Structure formats: C-alpha cells, structure tokens
Structure 1
Amino acid sequence: AAWALAGAGAEVTIANRTASRAAALAAELGATAVPLPAPGAGFDLGGFDLLVNATSVGLATPGAPPPAPGADLKALRLEADQLVSPLVVVDLVYGSEPTELAATSISGGATLIDGLEVLVRQGADSFRIWVGREPPIEVMRSAIRDSR
C-alpha cells in the first residue's frame, strides 16, 4: 500500500513497532518515518487523510477468545474518537468478522475500505489481466462476503 501511494505522489508517513524497519521503508519510499508511541499513548492522526493498517492486529485466531474491547485499538495506538470523517481507513486484515478497527471506523463515520474489499479488487485486477474482460465485481464481492 505504501509503495502504491508513494508512487502516486502521496505524502507517506510510516510507523512501525520497530523504528529501524519504519526508517528503512521510509528511506526506500522517500517517505517520513515516525516512532510508534509507547503502549497506552495515542498516535496523533491530526493532518492525516488516510490510515492504512498493514499489521496483523485484528486478525482472529480460530478457537481463541476474542480480545477485550479496545485491545486492538490500544495495540494500534489509536482512540475511537480519532476514527471519524473525513478520515479514510484501509484495514488490510480480513476474516470471518470485521476487526475492531473496521467496526469502530464505521461507527465513527470514517470511510472504511476493509481487507475483503481489497481482496475483491485484487482478484478483479487479476481477472482483467488474465481473462481480458471486465470482472463481475458485484458477483465477486457477494461471493466473498457470503463466505464469511
């Protein structure tokens, strides 16, 4: 996601749990690296238009109890009141249930693009390349959402 955004000319900021990884990726992209705040400290989203979660936070483990309410947002150093319009949230995690980040973004009024929609669009692009026709995106979207 960061490569595509930087390639499109967007100003990109990278945060990672490991500061050296954030710095290395930012250097490759010509982006800015910022340290991830300590647990319990919030991440300031002021000035950002788009938040992309490319971590595994929110990915459910089959058979495991769900995390406590707020735990996933805390792991991402986010607060529910930050996930509001006009922010666009892209949560690359997908599974049988919406992630806490996705659900909170929707309830707060932010625009959400969830991992399943990203998967549908990737499949549609592959279909277009390999088959040479426009894909039935609505059919694909319904099939993947119904499989939850």
Structure 2
Amino acid sequence: MHCIGRQTIEQTLSLFGSSVVQYAIIWYLVLRSNSGMVMTVAMVAAALLQAIVSVFGGVWADRWKRKLLVMLPDAVIAAVTICLSASMAVGWGDTGLILVVLVIRSAGGGIQTPAVQSFIPQIARRRGCCASTRLTVRCRRRSASPLLQSPQPSST
C-alpha cells in the first residue's frame, strides 16, 4: 500500500506541476504582449485540444497499456517544455512557437490525465481510492485558481 500511495502522490504532483507550468506560460504571453486577444488564443490553445483528446484518452486508457499512456505523454510534455525553455534562453521564444508548445502540451495532458484517473482505482483499495480522488480534485481546483486572478499591474 505504501508504494501505491507514493505513486498516486507522484502522479498528482506531476499533473499539478504541469498545470502550473501551463498557466505560467499563458501569463508570460499575456504580460509580454499586454493583449487580451493573445490571452484568448493561448487559453484556447492550452485547453481546447485537451478537452477534445481527453474524450478519446479515457477510451485509450481502457484499451491500451495505462502505464505507457501515463509515462509517454508526460515525457513528451517535459521534452517540449525543456526545448521551449532552451529556445527562449537563446532568444527564439516568439509567440507562435509558444502557442505550438501549448497545443502539444494540451494534447499530452488530454491523454495523460484520463490514463492517471483510470489507473488509480485499479491499484488502490476502496478507502485509498476515495482519498486519492479527493486529493486530485483539490489539486485541480487549486491549479485553476491562477486563472481567476489577474496579474497585478506595476505602479510606476
């Protein structure tokens, strides 16, 4: 049971960290461009594909190896994010590239999230499954809170 709890916590933290990075990228675009249209496009790029892919992600999680559907998208999301940070470090971080990265991260999240959700009931006891689900829901609610807050303008 100890290993199962650790794995559940690790996956929850991975999903939470990924959503925090996603919001940080969006706010970076907004603060850099100072445009509501850029924010709209970034939010659509970050959320729309995930919503569409997650419908199929649940089915894929039932038919294919869940472990692969958890690890592979997570690795792709991490690799794309590292490439974005490297490109931004050398000055190639234009808006188009950042939006492409948001779309790729969104598609990966649409596969990874349903796979993690379907994986937990299989490995946890009934009591642990309920606790894990509560933890996941709380983390998602808290990760959505940056969207509800606007960045504070600097007073100059």
TM-score when scaled to structure 2? 0.24
Question: Going by fraction, where is strand more abundant, 1 or 2?
Answer: 1
TM-score, structure 1 as length reference: 0.26
